[in-house]
Amino acid sequence: MHINIPRGTQDILPGTVEKWQYIEGKIKQLCDRYQYSEIRTPIFEHTELFLRSVGDTTDIVTKEMYTFEDRGKRSLTLRPEGTAAVVRSFVENKMHGYASQPIKLFYLGQMFRYERPQAGRFRQFVQFGVEAIGSKDPAIDAEVIALAYSVYQTMGLSKLKVVVNSLGDKESRQAHREALIAHFKPSIGEFCHDCQTRLEKNPMRILDCKKDHEHPLMKSAPSILEYLNEESKAYFEKVQKYLTALNIPFVVDSNLVRGLDYYNHTAFEIMSEAEGFGAITTLCGGGRYNGLTEELGGPEAPGIGFAMSLERLLSALEAEKIELPIEKKVDCYLVSLGEEAKDYTVGLVNELRQAGFSAERDYLDRKVKAQFKAADRLHAKYVAVLGENELQNNKINLKQLETGEQKEIPLTELVSALKDFGSF
């Protein structure tokens, strides 16, 4: 019987996994430069956490969560995103009391959403995200956007579009909410069932509807930017001023509402404008979530963050035809000829590895020529050939594949000869 991989998931095999490792390495370096420390939270959380933070009228919560009951009859959910858990952990571990503030964290891990799989959309995907909690300085909004942007730039991507918006504070949102209700109410019967429920509960979610996005009332809907109070306006202007100072090109789009409920003030996305990237162009999204710590039972600690999936980053690299500089080489391949020499390489390969070299030998009883081919396939830098004669004379033949240079050396000096070759 054949059992296939679940829909919307993928195996990342050797040959591709090196790209992931390269990207993860670069991301960790960048986080260090920007002074974000890694946090690892569980893969599953209490379902209630996502209802309270992501929001019970969002698509994520109503349609996309992998929720199950454990044997103790608790409702648990595989995390669909990372912010809720990071803020939970901030509150639970009383990070507001830490000496160094604001708390700047990053995470890299699998997220799960029961979505319709298509290019760039998976049911299990890996998000890199950051959260800066404890500051409402607009400079940190700009820093977070700059960090996201620099990930893509570091990888060599250039066809990028940064879109920003402000969702305002509570007062601005309340005014906008009333305007939205007045706008949609008379014709709400023309909208899907979900939108009809959203009208009173959370009318901003209507703007994010995947079914009704072509309805003419969507385009003429009142823009949040017209309802920003002075404070929210001033905040948004500062964010834009700092982005300009950081040389980050951006456009303001008042239709950017984001699909999660915890946002206020700054909201942003970075899109790929590369040809052939696919229908989903968003590479990354984030925003400010003042009030979320209080919602989860903690003290006031305003926050901002973003998340991006590595799957979409890899697709953008493909669309822009960017090859990552990945070199996988084995330092030394041991070729042996004859039974005794073969036996001898069991210890020798181990000696090389213990000395810090990557080393390999034949395990398939191959002829010498095939062993050389195997060495080539592994991109070996050196091949050490041990035949019956060499073994009797306590010698080994060491060949540098790139230059063709070779020399016979005492068998006991293989490690030091490799070191002497100077390229390690």
Could you list the residues that contact ligand HAM (CB under 6 A)? 81-83, 113, 115, 120-122, 125, 127, 129, 131, 259-260, 282-287, 305-309, 311-312
CB of 420 to ligand HAM, least distance (A): 48
d(CA 37, CA 418) in angstroms, rounded, equals: 38
Phi-psi category of 154—alpha, beta or left, where left has phi over 0 and alpha has psi -120 to 50? alpha
Tokens in use for 70? 């454990």
208 or 390, CB closer to ligand HAM? 208
User: Is 263 assigned to a binding site?
Assistant: yes
Pairing assessment for the beta strands 160-166 and 251-252 based on DSSP bridges: parallel
User: Is 113 assigned to a binding site?
Assistant: yes
Q: How would DSSP label each residue in 97-120?
A: GSSS-SEEEEEEEEEE-----BTT
284 or 330, CB closer to ligand HAM? 284
34 or 421, CB closer to ligand HAM? 34
162 or 330, CB closer to ligand HAM? 162
CB of 360 to ligand HAM, least distance (A): 36
User: Is 281 assigned to a binding site?
Assistant: no
CB of 284 to ligand HAM, least distance (A): 5
User: Is 294 assigned to a binding site?
Assistant: no
In this structure, what is the dihedral angle of CA atoms 58, 62, 66, 68, given to the nearest 10 degrees? 130
d(CA 215, CA 220) in angstroms, rounded, equals: 10
CB of 84 to ligand HAM, least distance (A): 8
82 or 387, CB closer to ligand HAM? 82
d(CA 338, CA 327) in angstroms, rounded, equals: 32
* Cross-sheet strand order for the sheet of 406-410: 359-361, 332-336, 382-386, 395-400, 406-410
CB of 78 to ligand HAM, least distance (A): 13
CB of 311 to ligand HAM, least distance (A): 5
User: Is 295 assigned to a binding site?
Assistant: no
CB of 175 to ligand HAM, least distance (A): 24
CB of 79 to ligand HAM, least distance (A): 10
d(CA 290, CA 148) in angstroms, rounded, equals: 20
User: Is 79 assigned to a binding site?
Assistant: no
Residue 294: C-alpha distances to residues 44, 57, 121, 277 (Å): 22, 20, 32, 39
* Residue 170 phi, psi (nearest 5): -55, -45
138 or 286, CB closer to ligand HAM? 286
d(CA 386, CA 134) in angstroms, rounded, equals: 64
Residue pair 84/50 in contact (Cβ under 8 Å)? The answer is yes
User: Is 242 assigned to a binding site?
Assistant: no
User: Is 83 assigned to a binding site?
Assistant: yes
In the bound complex, which residue of the shown chain has the CB atom lying closest to ligand HAM?
Answer: 305
203 or 287, CB closer to ligand HAM? 287
- Nearest C-alpha neighbor of 268 from the set 173, 138, 174, 158: 138
User: Is 10 assigned to a binding site?
Assistant: no
148 or 418, CB closer to ligand HAM? 148
d(CA 251, CA 247) in angstroms, rounded, equals: 13
d(CA 63, CA 65) in angstroms, rounded, equals: 6
d(CA 153, CA 146) in angstroms, rounded, equals: 10
Binding residues, as ranges, are 81-83, 113, 127, 131, 258, 262-263
Binding residues for L-histidine, as ranges, are 81-83, 113, 127, 131, 258, 262-263
